[in-house]
Structure 1
Amino acid sequence: MEKEEKLFNKGFISITLINFIVYLVYYLLMVIIAVIAQDNLHATLSQAGLASGIYIIGTLLARLLMGKKLELVGRKAVLRYGSLFYLATTIAYLFIPGIGVLYGVRLLNGFAYGTVSTATNAIVTAYIPQSKNGEGINYYGLSTSLAAAIGPFIGMILLNLTNFYTIIIFSIVLIAATTVACWVFPVKNIVLTPEHRASLAAHTLDSYIEKKALFITFIAFWMGLAYSSVLSFLSSYAQAIHLVDAASFFFVVYALVITATRPLSGRIFDAKGENYVMYPSYFFLAAGLAALSFTTSSWLLLVSGALVGLGYGTFMSNGQAVCLKTCDSHRIGIALSTYFVGLDLGLGVGPYIFGILRSHLSFQSMYLVAAILPIACAIVYRLFYKKSDVIEEVVEEVTATTDTIVHSVHSVEDSVK
């Protein structure tokens, strides 16, 4: 019993490290691909942007399709063959003659990344004790957050010191090592009942989307949308306000704050409940974006980085924990894919939306608009969270009662006959 309650078991540590490398390569390539498209393939700015963004389309397709495949085919098979596909599509970057081929490779590479990351997000839940669900998800989430800070940092350094092919070889070595680890790692597949298997195999909306996770997915979309304003425009904004040097440390501060606070927020989640971490995450992100809009000095820029880390960084993992809390065990894969579709979609469409806003507003006004979104999320969360569960329970009870009545009527008819 004591062994089962141990959070830092071998399986948990291994899958967390695998997830870190998967996300590291994703972020590493994301920050350099637009530059490479322009410099090596002579792409226009819009073509380079599409080469970067088309990756998200592949990821979203994988999230939708692999959520159900995780349990039908088995988590082990999805992780192993997904990692092989991730390796093959990363190698494909070495053979790109033009921008059209780059689009195809990016789409397939995004699909592969989405497949593996969806698998790792589900697999880790089997190695987290139920009593430490929030804490475990937050420690696991560190692998994603640190990769988001370290990946771009390594990518920019390698871009300045080497060339595209050297960066790809470096990425291939990392993914090859991860692929070996995925084939060695002892994945725990869940056992499906015939009823669960039939429901997952059916080509219905329920087999692709977890309705119980839709509310937190809706919130995740708007939080991702707000955070995308930082990812997309921080560099341009820093140039405009002459704080480029300080901006280079923005995500370092972001990562340090997350590393320091994630374990604590996880323990609070388990001990006090989700509301004690969800509400602060909304207000910290709003405060960080507002501080960013008013910043005129390096120290305030870095403070905003810390606040954004406390906000978005805390939400990302604890939103995932809320998602797990609302779904049944045989639908964990679908629930997580639903949640990350919302998060990725917000990050994907955000740059386009804020780009339009930026053409009409100053950077400062744009970040103030972004700061409103987390506040709106807090209000919606306060009004509707848990109430959607109650409504669903009522519907289920009515359905069960109706089924009982129908069954009784049929029994009476059979008796009369």
Structure 2
Amino acid sequence: MDKPRLWTRDFISIAITNFLVFTTFFYLLVTLPIYALQELHGAESEAGLITTVFLVASILTRPFAGKWIEKAGKYIVFISSLIVLFAASILYFIPQSLIGLLILRFFHGIGFGMATTATGAIVADLIPESRKGEGMGYYGLTLNLAMAIGPFLGLTVMQQTGTNVIFIINALCALFALVAGLFVRLPKKAFMPERVIERKTSMKIGNYLETSAIPVSLVSAFLGLIYSGIISFVSIYAKEQKLVEAAGYFFVVYAVVLLISRPFTGKWFDLFGANIIIYPAILCFAVGTFLLSVSNTSLLFLASAALIGVGWGTVFPSFQTIAIQVAPPKKRALATATFLSIYDFGFGIGSFIFGIAATKIDYGSLYFYCSFLIIIGSGVYYLLHGRISSRSIVKKVKREIS
């Protein structure tokens, strides 16, 4: 029997949209703090608020975006979010003060929170159930590629051109994301908004968070906290280790390894279940971080990038797939919002926490301890989801035998 199609026009369009949305996020992540310091004459502590304000707006928006999707429909929220992102990108030419830039970043963060929630909910409807792990793996790959290309593009443009060019490229990426989004067509059952019955208890937490997705979301936040600390300081660490040239290729190697491994890891998720993929991936993540802590040559440094790419690049989309699978079909948008909000919280505070830690110990030691925290993360996964998944597999095997 032929497998249902995965690479449809709609899936490709939503993947391109997601890639461009996250490319602009990481592109501005590395360029705006420098712009704030050099052009707006802000302090380093103030420049750090540029990312914080954006993520706060995104986190606050996502639970409401999940409810908006239930009321208005995925497509309306999806297109509206892309319009907000494009409008925000055009407005970057206007602010002449740090306060003005922070207000714009909050507005931009609202659009980002809406877009990432809507795209996650839509892609869950577009991927066939029998290929959910594989499809979500490829979808997650767009985020990881954006994380490699965005910073590389941003730093290259900043070094070779002026501020206007930086903002023009940002606006073009947002425009292309909107155009790609217009090509997406949802299945009829996913196009219509759900009937929502207003209740007096409308402010209860279950209306804004999908509780079934919380356990695996907490695991992603724990590991995401560690991951954000790793990538935030890897360029500084490379400079200390006199590996500046290799630092430029860290995320390139990361992305290439992801491209090679993704066709296999997603399919294995579907064939053998989450645990078979996640435990080895967490181990790769830990070993890669350990190698990073002892890297004194370019070979070790880039080998760590490869292992971290396989590890984290497999773990993150697998967790997102689980969050969607454990939720009722009508709650997938809310599950996506829950997962990304909790993850962003961990990611957002990670670099801050590890920045404080880095004032007490050197970066090599910091990465060394991180590798053990990642191993602890496998225990957190077991307690919050892995043991439940294992029991489900055992029951399935018993049913098949009987």
TM-score range, shorter chain: over 0.9
- Equivalent residue for 1:248? 248
Pair 98,175 (structure 1): closer, same or farther in 2 beyond 3 Å: same
CA drift of 1:382 comes to: 2.2
- Equivalent residue for 1:167? 166
Q: How does 1:309-388 map to 2 (within 5 A)?
A: 309-385=309-385
CA drift of 1:120 comes to: 0.8
Please report the RMSD computed on the Cα atoms of aligned residues, expressed in angstroms: 2.1
- Equivalent residue for 1:220? 220
CA drift of 1:314 comes to: 0.6
Residue type at the aligned position of 2:127? I
Give 5+ residue unaligned stretches, structure 2.
392-402
Tell me, yes or no, if the aligned pair for 2:72 and 2:193 is still in contact at 8 Å: no
Give 5+ residue unaligned stretches, structure 1.
392-417
Q: How does 1:61-72 map to 2 (within 5 A)?
A: 61-72=60-71
Q: Residues 206-245 of structure 1, C-alpha deviation per residue, up to 9 Å, x if partnerless?
A: 1111111111011001110111122211111111111111
Tell me, yes or no, if the aligned pair for 1:225 and 1:347 is still in contact at 8 Å: yes
Tell me, yes or no, if the aligned pair for 1:68 and 1:200 is still in contact at 8 Å: no
Residue type at the aligned position of 1:302? L
Distance 1:390 1:376 in 2: 19
TM-score, scaled relative to structure 2: 0.92
Most deviating of 53-62 and 40-49: 53-62
Q: Residues 234-277 of structure 1, C-alpha deviation per residue, up to 9 Å, x if partnerless?
A: 11111111111111111001111111111211000000000011
Residue type at the aligned position of 1:234? V
Pair 204,387 (structure 1): closer, same or farther in 2 beyond 3 Å: farther
Find the residue that maps to 1:209 and give its secondary structure: coil
Distance 1:151 1:260 in 2: 20
- Equivalent residue for 2:398? none
- Equivalent residue for 1:411? none
Distance 1:9 1:390 in 2: 33
2:81 is aligned with 1:82 = yes
Q: Residues 18-77 of structure 1, C-alpha deviation per residue, up to 9 Å, x if partnerless?
A: 111111111111110000001100011111111233211111122222122122211111
Distance 1:313 1:97 in 2: 38
Q: How does 1:144-183 map to 2 (within 5 A)?
A: 144-183=143-182
Distance 1:76 1:65 in 2: 15
Find the residue that maps to 2:23 and give its secondary structure: helix
Pair 201,310 (structure 1): closer, same or farther in 2 beyond 3 Å: farther
Pair 250,386 (structure 1): closer, same or farther in 2 beyond 3 Å: closer
Distance 1:200 1:249 in 2: 55
CA drift of 1:16 comes to: 0.7
Q: Residues 87-108 of structure 1, C-alpha deviation per residue, up to 9 Å, x if partnerless?
A: 1111111001100001111111
Q: Considering only CA atoms, is the larger Rg found in Structure 1 or Structure 2?
A: 1
- Equivalent residue for 2:259? 259
Find the residue that maps to 1:94 and give its secondary structure: coil
Tell me, yes or no, if the aligned pair for 2:73 and 2:192 is still in contact at 8 Å: no
Distance 2:193 2:114 in 1: 21
Distance 2:97 2:387 in 1: 52
Pair 180,382 (structure 1): closer, same or farther in 2 beyond 3 Å: closer
Find the residue that maps to 2:6 and give its secondary structure: coil
- Equivalent residue for 1:270? 270
- Equivalent residue for 1:44? 43
Most deviating of 328-337 and 377-386: 377-386
Residue type at the aligned position of 2:298? S
- Equivalent residue for 2:394? none
Distance 2:291 2:167 in 1: 37
Q: How does 1:282-321 map to 2 (within 5 A)?
A: 282-321=282-321
CA drift of 1:111 comes to: 1.5
- Equivalent residue for 1:117? 116
2:58 is aligned with 1:59 = yes
- Equivalent residue for 2:102? 103
Distance 1:181 1:155 in 2: 22
- Equivalent residue for 1:235? 235
- Equivalent residue for 1:281? 281
Distance 1:201 1:11 in 2: 37
CA drift of 1:347 comes to: 1.4
Residue type at the aligned position of 1:236? I
Pair 350,373 (structure 1): closer, same or farther in 2 beyond 3 Å: same
CA drift of 1:174 comes to: 2.1
Percent identity over paired residues: 32
Distance 1:48 1:320 in 2: 31
Distance 1:181 1:146 in 2: 17
Tell me, yes or no, if the aligned pair for 1:284 and 1:310 is still in contact at 8 Å: yes
Find the residue that maps to 2:95 and give its secondary structure: coil
Pair 177,200 (structure 1): closer, same or farther in 2 beyond 3 Å: farther
CA drift of 1:390 comes to: 11
Residue type at the aligned position of 1:31? V
Pair 357,297 (structure 1): closer, same or farther in 2 beyond 3 Å: same
Pair 287,115 (structure 1): closer, same or farther in 2 beyond 3 Å: same
Distance 2:341 2:374 in 1: 18
CA drift of 1:153 comes to: 0.9
Find the residue that maps to 2:7 and give its secondary structure: coil
Residue type at the aligned position of 1:368? F
Pair 199,245 (structure 1): closer, same or farther in 2 beyond 3 Å: farther
Distance 2:103 2:170 in 1: 18
- Equivalent residue for 1:412? none
CA drift of 1:183 comes to: 3.5
Tell me, yes or no, if the aligned pair for 2:126 and 2:186 is still in contact at 8 Å: no
- Equivalent residue for 2:128? 129
Residue type at the aligned position of 1:249? Y
Tell me, yes or no, if the aligned pair for 1:133 and 1:270 is still in contact at 8 Å: yes
CA drift of 1:332 comes to: 0.3
Tell me, yes or no, if the aligned pair for 2:16 and 2:180 is still in contact at 8 Å: no
CA drift of 1:283 comes to: 0.8
Find the residue that maps to 1:41 and give its secondary structure: coil
